[in-house]
Copies of this chain bind each other. A is one copy, B any other.
Amino acid sequence: MRREVTLRDVAELAGVSSRTVSNVVNGYANVTDRTKERVQRAVEQLGYRPNVLARNLAQGRSGQIALVVPYLDTPYFAELLQSVIRAARISGYNVLIDQTDGDPEHERGFIAHGSRRLLFDGVIFSPLGLDQQALADRDPALPLVILGERTSDGTFDHVGIDDVAASRQATEHLLDLGRQRVAAIGDQPYATGEAAQLRTRGFREAHTARGLPVHEDLIIGTPRFNRPDGARAMARLLDREDPPDAVFCYSDLVALGAIHTIVARGLRVPEDVAVIGYDDIEDGAYSNPSVTTISPDKEWIATTAVERLLLRITSSTPPPGLELRAPHRLIVRESTTGRARRG
């Protein structure tokens, strides 16, 4: 590979110093139109392209942010990723992506002190295997924005929807339909299951607010929020003597898995069992039946996360850690109100 064109080559051809070329290329400082033009001509003539690596080293920054999520084949994250990339690009940042499979060690590696020093300037992180404590032990100098349910300790921003309120709203929707035995699929009663626990809380609140009993035995845990887990959990519920007549699923994937089981057993959705999901992924809108869901504003989440992260990266004094609540709304589809409802 032959040597690439450098700033100095351009400088020589244009008859100016390399520093001036740099100024032109980056639009820094004042440059006379005459010089600017001369430089630009030389740049074109030689086909000069800045060496990003060298620039990064000199500036001590990488121009990259990392998005770290547990699973990429989860449509929710895929959709989010898309918006994050778009938002980052607007500000000239590239997105480095990684998937942790929820492995705590792997997750720690990303936020631990200097583990990947300078590969990225900041991280948008959706932790799964790390509890609050592990988060606190991180490299304090790394700009960080957390997605999902982890309360901010003041040193990072947290972006998410109000899980309790949203879950309550979802459950209330089922109760409004007159359902008597409402189940919940997705509880995770352990340290790393904060998000799930908040949803369970909302589920309970909806019942107690109406003076209804919570069917504790209808709350089913799942290790992950995917289709197979949803399908399995639903099978357990249907195997009972007194199966539920409605299910609040902690993700749309879980809901799709659950519906799959219900239909496979010859039961109808929503007539026999009404199902509501969470996340509003595209699949849910096109499935049969389409899935009623809680829709978080993903675009808002992505742009806000990027915005806050870049602010953190560029600030000399770290901004306070904010708790940012994204808007959400209930989208009613066939899985709770049946075909009739379709527009």
Spell out A's residues near B (CB within 8 Å). 1, 4, 47, 49-54, 56-57, 60, 62, 64, 71-73, 75, 78-79, 81-82, 85-86, 94-99, 113-119, 141, 227, 231, 256-257, 259-260, 263-264, 282-283, 285-288, 290, 339, 342
Q: Which chain B residue shows the least CB distance to A66?
A: B94
- Minimum Cβ distance to chain B for residue A254 (Å): 11
Q: A54 touches which one: B57, B81, B259 (CB < 8 A)? A: B57
- Minimum Cβ distance to chain B for residue A335 (Å): 11
> For A286, what are the chain B residues with a Cβ–Cβ distance below 8 Å?
227, 231, 256-257, 260
In the complex, A115 Cα to B60 Cα: how many Å? Answer: 21
> For A54, what are the chain B residues with a Cβ–Cβ distance below 8 Å?
57
> For A71, what are the chain B residues with a Cβ–Cβ distance below 8 Å?
82
Is the Cβ of A75 less than 8 Å from the Cβ of B75?
A: yes
Q: Which chain B residue shows the least CB distance to A119?
A: B52
Is the Cβ of A117 less than 8 Å from the Cβ of B288?
A: no
Is the Cβ of A72 less than 8 Å from the Cβ of B62?
A: no
Question: Chain B CB within 10 Å — which of A56, A231, A263 has the most?
Answer: A56
Q: A52-B119, A75-B73 are in contact. Are A96 and B99 (CB under 8 A)?
A: no
